[in-house]
Amino acid sequence: MVSLRSTFTAFLMLSALSSMAQGLDNPIPERLQFTGNVPAELLAKRSCVFYASSFTNDQLNTIQQSFQKSGIDAVAYFNTAMVFAGNDVISKMVEHLNKREISFIVLLSKNAENYSFTFTSFNGDDEFVNKGQPGWKVEDASL
C-alpha cells in the first residue's frame, strides 16, 4: 500500500520537475531578426554564453578554445534551463550580467544534424534582448 507520505513526496517531485520544465523555454531567438551581419564590437566586448543541456563539457571546452582563437571574449557560461528557471533567477542573472559588463549573449544549441550559434547584443534588462533586434546565427554539422 502506498503511504500518504510517499504520495505527497512524489507530488512535490513532479511539481518541482514541472516548474523546471517551464523554465526550459528560451524566448530569446523568437525575439530576434536574423541578419547575415556579425554584431559590431563582438570582438571588443564581453559575451556570456547560454548553452543547451545537451552539450558536454568537452564540447563547451572546444567551443571556448574556438572563441578565444577568433577573439570572442566569452567570460561566462550558463545552462539555458538554469537561466530561464523563473523570474527570480532571471532577475539575478540580469544583475550578474550587468555587473560583469556583458555586452553580448551567445546561444548554443544542437540537434541531430547541426550545432547552432546565435550572437546578439544584451539589452541589460529582464528580457535580455529587444523584440526585433538583430541577431547573427551560424550553423554547422561540426564544431
Q: Which residue segments constitute the domains of the chain, with CATH numbers given?
A: 26-140 (3.40.50)
pLDDT band at 5, cuts 50/70/90? low
Q: Which residue has the higher pLDDT, 27 or 131?
A: 131
* CA dihedral angle for residue 99, residue 77, residue 31, residue 17, rounded to 10 degrees: -110
**Taking 50 as the threshold, does the pLDDT of residue 22 lie above it?**
no
Amino acid identity for residue 91 in this structure = S
Residue 46 in grid coordinates = 564581453
Least confident of 12-16, 33-37, 57-61, 120-124: 12-16
**pLDDT for residue 26:** 82
* Mean pLDDT, residues 82-104: 95
Distance CA 131, CA 89 (A): 21
Beta bridge partners, 96, equal none
**Taking 90 as the threshold, does the pLDDT of residue 94 lie above it?**
yes
**Taking 80 as the threshold, does the pLDDT of residue 31 lie above it?**
yes
| 68 within 8 A of 3, measured Cβ to Cβ | no
